[in-house]
């Protein structure tokens, strides 16, 4: 904290993230939730296929398994992007500490 921040500590607050960064975080969280639902549904379909008689064709099973794998890869990518945005929040906050009025 600088001198002005110490003097007015009762009114000081951390700087808010920019609207663009916040919107990006919201969109990534929305995509993450949707992809989690997709992965969960595909896992349930595969479990259902195991109990089904007659069993599904190899092509049907491979299609669902491919969608599950793509969803899992997308989840990992979204998690990395969420971490990048979180790091951006921190860097914006640190940049705000150096601004003096």
pLDDT at 101: 42
48-61 residue pLDDT tens = 998 888 888 999 99
pLDDT at 34: 96
What is the 3-class SS of 50-90, one letter each residue? Answer: HHCCCCCCHHHHHHHHHHHHHHHHHHHHHHHHHHHHHHHHH
Domain count, the chain: 1
Mean pLDDT, all residues of the chain: 84
On the question of pLDDT at 13 being above 70, the answer is: no
pLDDT at 6: 55
Please state the separation of Cα 68 from the chain's center in Å: 18
pLDDT at 100: 44
pTM of this structure: 0.71
What is the rounded CA–CA span in Å between residue 20 and residue 18? 5
| CATH number of the domain residue 74 falls in | 1.20.120
Phi-psi region of 37 (alpha: psi -120 to 50; beta: other; left: phi over 0): alpha
Inter-residue contact 72 to 36 (CB < 8 Å): no
For residue 35, the enclosing domain spans 3-97
28-40 residue pLDDT tens = 999 999 999 999 9
């Amino acid at each position: 904290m600088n001198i002005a921040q110490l003097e007015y500590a009762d009114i000081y607050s951390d700087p808010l993230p920019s609207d663009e960064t916040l919107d990006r975080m919201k969109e990534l969280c929305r995509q993450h939730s949707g992809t989690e639902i997709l992965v969960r549904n595909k896992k349930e379909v595969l479990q259902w296929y195991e109990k089904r008689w007659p069993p599904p064709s190899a092509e049907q099973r491979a299609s669902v398994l491919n969608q599950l794998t793509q969803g899992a890869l997308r989840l990992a990518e979204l998690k990395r992007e969420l971490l990048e945005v979180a790091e951006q929040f921190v860097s914006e906050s640190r940049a705000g500490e150096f601004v003096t009025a």
